[in-house]
Amino acid sequence: MRQLPLGADPNHLLSLARKGNDLAREELIRKFTPFILNIVSRLSGRFVRLGEDDEASIGLMAFNEAIDTYDPRKGVSFLTLAETVIRRRIIDYFRQEERHRQHLATQDIQVSSTPEDHHWAWELVDRREEIVRYQKELASYGISFADLVRNCPRHQDARQRALACARTIADNPLLRRYLEEKKELPLKALGHNLKTSRKTLERHRKYIIALALIIMGDYDYLKEYISQAERGESNGG
């Protein structure tokens, strides 16, 4: 396996990551995780923990997005761009969750003054609990949220193929049972049914499994995120 030099310069890591070096991308994300969590915590109004708070995962994914969209010719530093993307994605998340109103923490929900506020508050609890359940199920397959950041396909057509694979598994009882029992993708069957190469399936294995678990499981809020992504991509977003 290729190794990165010890103490690799962040600018060098960024350059390698933008050229498709996944090892450099992973190391760059690792180095800047405190930077990411600091921005997310300030926006959230509380300390955000990696592996516990979904805002942290959104921040990591936003940083990953910034790696792909960074263009040094535009004269903006990478960290400036990264902070902008993180802020944008977190604010979008707050709007979706209606947390921009009060920044409610699920661990310390205060009594709301209206039935609507109670509904919003408990919906946040439900979402938080769903994320925790999903994280535990992913872990049983040897997958973490950080893995999903690294393994998310960068191109729309690749994401669509991965989702098609996940839906094929969820809709086929034999493939579904294979996944649940073996904790692995049914590569041969998927390759045959979808005319997709084994190499492509293996490259996005964790991402496909993660999607399949959402579709197969009791994850109403996460399923809505998938539906939103599908609608956005079908509209050219």
Which phi and psi (to 5°) does residue 227 adopt? Answer: -65, -40
Shared domain check, 39 and 105: yes
Picking from 117, 132, 165, the residue at the C-terminal end of a domain is: 117
CA torsion sign for 84, 90, 94, 97 is positive
pTM score, whole prediction: 0.51
SS3 110: coil
In a domain, 138, yes or no: no
CA distance 162 to 203: 10
Note the Cα 61 to chain centre separation in Å.
Answer: 6
Shared domain check, 210 and 167: yes
**pLDDT above 70 (res 108):** no
CA distance 16 to 86: 21
Domains in the chain: how many in total? 2
**pLDDT above 50 (res 195):** yes
Shared domain check, 102 and 43: yes
Shared domain check, 111 and 159: no
pLDDT one-digit tens code per residue, 54-88: 899 999 999 999 999 888 888 888 888 899 999 88
Q: What is the pLDDT of residue 137?
A: 92
Picking from 60, 91, 117, the residue at the C-terminal end of a domain is: 117
In a domain, 65, yes or no: yes
**pLDDT above 70 (res 202):** yes
Q: Which domain holds residue 72?
A: 32-117
Shared domain check, 38 and 112: yes
> What is the identity of the amino acid at 186?
P
